[in-house]
Structure 1
Amino acid sequence: MRRESAAGADIAVRAVVAGAAAFMVGIGCWAWWSPQAFARWAHWPVHVHFIRDGAVFQITIGLMMLFALRWRDVLAVVLAGFTLANGLHALNHFLDLHVGGRAADPWILLGVAALGLAAWGARMRRLRVRRRHRRP
């Protein structure tokens, strides 16, 4: 493949990823902020907690797609998405404690998110150290 066509293909792929990510984040935010309206549109039963849980994962998939456009390191992308998914999932469980579930659930999810954040921070530091050592 010639350089011009390879560059064009790369631009096209990046545009598709960015557009799909925006769609995922947009739909996820709508479902999270207005689960009743989303359920009516999707012809689903209204179960606010489960719609919001699904929305969290929709949002984090979109964000991971955007992170992949910025970072070349797969572990950085995955750890960032894992951390956000568990953090937002914990938020859902905090908000919905009055609906059901165990009181410990949000704290467990938050703890898992904290572990992910620590691992992501360590990975990002490692990548910065590597970059510094490569420069002349």
Structure 2
Amino acid sequence: MKLMNGVHRAVLTISGGKLGWTLGRMPTVELHTTGRVSGVQRSTLLTAPVHGRGRWVFVASKGGDDRDPQWYRNLVANPEAAITVRGRTLKVHTRTATALEKAELWPQIVAVNDRYAGYQRKTDRDIPVIICEER
């Protein structure tokens, strides 16, 4: 995952931000969090299968791993974050979708990228869905 993130960053950098802002039908978003233990600013590239009108939805799938991704754990500890979308950085408030919200969002998520359904089948962990709203 880290290697894939590094390659993606390289594409954005080498192209001067002209390439790499979408992956299939999903926008690529750089999420900026504060490390829950270190307090250090962290960033990771994610896709937002559901988005619009100041709201982005992320899936903390970690490829179906049995553990939550570190970026998600950082958001749980500090839900105030920032995202960069096509070179524009925005402050956001994040939260884990409720079970009802996830039930509503999940069909939309897998309609855009059915890999998420495979990731959920791969693990016993209930994969969190995160809602980010512009502040």
Common fold by TM > 0.5: no
Structure whose CA Rg is larger: 1
> With CA pairs under 8 Å and 6+ residues apart, which has the higher RCO, 1 or 2?
2
Which category describes the TM-score, using the shorter chain as reference length? under 0.3
Higher strand proportion = 2
Q: TM-score, normalised by structure 1?
A: 0.26
Give the number of the structure whose residues are more often helix, by fraction.
1
